[in-house]
Amino acid sequence: MSESRLTPVRSLAALGSCGNVSVEKVPGVIITERTNVAICSVLARKDTQAQLAKIVHKTFDLALPATPRYAAGNAIAFAWAGPSQWLALKDGNDDGAFAQSLRSTLGSVAAVMDQSDGRTILRISGQRARDALAKGILIDLHPSAFGPGHTAITTVAYIGVHFWQIDAVPTYDFAVFRSFAIAFAEWLIDAAAEFGVAVK
């Protein structure tokens, strides 16, 4: 991803650790902007979802989620984004190569649009991440209801977000439209202050 794609969220890293950091100096919430990731939206053409799923499985050895789930392999991940649509993500600075590759592979059954310039991915982790997020997300994040591999599309502080859980730490990735990334990060810092928060 080119330097021009970096959002001002990185400037918040100057805050370092803030809020109620524990005696052990371990923040309860850690916020990191994932700047080196390519993002594409994938929309299945009419009546081609089954064929698309077969191509994804054959090419990437992944089961394309048909419900609000997130599937990741060594090279690529797909996050369900609604009926017959997904976000596809790949680590690396490729300046559009990922989108072109997906179009070559999936173009006969899906429309592929590069979203790398339009979205920011914020990774939120830490022992108190769930508690901080619960202040603004009207979704039950308890491990029995929402765990690794789950994804959801909702709003936080009137900001549209698409997020998925990576692991049981818990760690979440939030895809936010780039123009709202600062507002979302600022809301999160405020929500996490009582637990201690680090911006990296």
At 94 the pLDDT is 76
* pLDDT per position as a tens digit, 51-61: 999 999 999 99
Q: What is the pLDDT of residues 136-151, one digit of tens each?
A: 999 999 999 999 999 9
Task: Identify the domain boundary among 114, 145, 173.
Answer: 114
The last residue of a domain, from among 114, 134, 161: 114
For residue 143, count other CB atoms closer than 10 A to its CB.
Answer: 12
Mark which of 62, 94, 114 sits at the end of a domain: 114
* Percent of the chain residues topping a pLDDT of 90: 76
* Letter string b/e over residues 172-181, b meaning 16 or more CB atoms within 10 A of that residue's CB: bbbbbebebb
Statement to judge: residues 143 and 159 lie in one domain: yes
- The range of the structural domain enclosing residue 133 comes to 3-35+118-199
Count of domains observed in the chain = 2
**Residue 21 sits in the same domain as residue 86:** no
Range name among 7-11, 176-180, 183-187, 196-200 with the lowest pLDDT average: 7-11
Copy the structure tokens of residue 98: 């990922």
CATH (domain of 140): 3.30.1360.120
pTM of the model: 0.89
Q: What is the CATH number of the domain that holds 62?
A: 3.30.70.1520
Long-range contact list for 22-27, CB < 8 A, 24+ apart?
22/196, 26/196, 27/126, 27/195, 27/196, 27/197, 27/198
Same domain, 147 and 172: yes
List the one residue out of 96, 102, 88, 100 whose CA is nearest residue 55: 102
